[in-house]
Amino acid sequence: MRRFFRTRTVGATVLAFALIASACGDDDASGDVPADGPTITVGSTNFSEQLIVGEIYGQAMEAAGYPVERSFNLGSREVVNPALKSGEIDLLVEYTGTLLTFEGGTATTDSQETWDSLAAVYSDTDLTVANYTPAQDKNGIVVTAAFAADNGVAKTSDLAAMNGTLVFGGPPECPQREFCLIGLTDADVYGLDFAEFKPLDVGGPLTVAALEGGEIDVALLFSSDGVIAAKGFVLLEDDLNLQPADNLVPVLRREIVDAYGQALVDLLDSVSAELTTAELSELNKRFNLDAEDADVLAKGWLADHGF
């Protein structure tokens, strides 16, 4: 279960698999990788975005000559986090704010500050964190493209000019959540005044249908949801920083870093630097709606970014 409102499942049966893949780089690419280094097992939780980013980092390491295995769709964070800590898997792409909260910390709206706190949590453990991506997967305030164009809306604060006239739709618990209706209407934050709040679902089909059909003017979805790209919705900028940071970040075991050195971390960081929220939304759309395979999407993304 992701933080704030999200619950993701892939059915009653948890799928788990491991594919041993040989390095696909040339001799020059793998020249600096120790021949007797340990295999790096990349894990994932049980939703589509995790499969995509797991493949992105896994394939990048393979292309550089690192031996990689995959162990995807393991289950929720309550399953995968212990697997990482115990050494069953060696690398997991996580979410800074969500993971920090899971570990008992407090996320802030500042990406660097949240990452620093997460790094501190793991400073005396068997785990370490690489750099975070620009891409985030967190609560997002969304409108249709037509609404944005007609009303000159690009930022969440722009909605205040229409106070008292807009219908907002989101999860039923939204009125009780500080990162949803409480924060949006707080005079010290956005100070929005909606004509009505419609309780719908947790960033799901009811919310999407209501927004597309004009039953609501503004919706809460998730910032990397593929439906945003698929429907041409506009994700409004959180210009007053209501939402805590939730950047994607590779978390890995220190023994892997010790075995391969800074070169491996530098590779992960170079991949992370290129991944944006808009690209992640497009990848999710192509996986969930266009039925493209995660490994194919990852290969194309890496090629587009010079890896």
Residue 3 domain-assigned (yes or no)? no
Q: How many domains would you assign to the chain?
A: 2
Mean pLDDT taken over the chain:
89
Task: Give the pLDDT band (50/70/90) at residue 1.
Answer: very low
The pLDDT of residue 17 is 36
Do 94 and 179 reside in the same domain of the chain?
Answer: no
Do 22 and 156 reside in the same domain of the chain?
Answer: no
Return d(Cα 244, Cα 106) in angstroms, integer: 9
Contact 266, 247 (CB under 8 A): no
| 182-240 pLDDT tens trace | 999 999 999 999 999 999 987 778 999 999 999 999 999 988 888 998 899 999 999 99
Residue 12 domain-assigned (yes or no)? no
Report the pLDDT averaged over residues 167-189.
91
State which residues form the domain around 295. Answer: 17-136+246-304
| 36-79 pLDDT tens trace | 899 999 999 887 899 999 999 999 999 999 999 999 999 888 89
Residue 1 domain-assigned (yes or no)? no
Residue 255 domain-assigned (yes or no)? yes
Per-residue pLDDT for 151 more than 80? yes
Return d(Cα 104, Cα 304) in angstroms, integer: 38
Do 143 and 221 reside in the same domain of the chain?
Answer: yes
Mapping DSSP to helix (H, G, I), strand (E, B) and coil, where does residue 187 land? coil
Return d(Cα 218, Cα 231) in angstroms, integer: 14
Task: Give the pLDDT band (50/70/90) at residue 31.
Answer: low
Mapping DSSP to helix (H, G, I), strand (E, B) and coil, where does residue 267 land? helix
The pLDDT of residue 75 is 87
Do 209 and 260 reside in the same domain of the chain?
Answer: no
Q: Pick from 234, 229, 235: which is nearest to 145 by CA?
A: 234
Residue 123 identity: S
CATH number of the domain encompassing residue 108: 3.40.190.10
Buried b (16+ CB within 10 A) or exposed e, 80-107: bbebbeeeebbbbbbbbbbbbbbeeeeb
Q: What is the pTM of this model?
A: 0.76
Contact 78, 94 (CB under 8 A): no
Residue 11 domain-assigned (yes or no)? no
| 289-298 pLDDT tens trace | 899 999 999 9
Concatenate the DSSP letters of all residues of 19-69 into one string.
EEE---S-TTTTTTS-TTPPPEEEE--SSHHHHHHHHHHHHHHHHTT--EE
Do 286 and 255 reside in the same domain of the chain?
Answer: yes
Residue 252 domain-assigned (yes or no)? yes
Q: Please say which residue of 210, 235, 260 terminates a domain.
A: 235
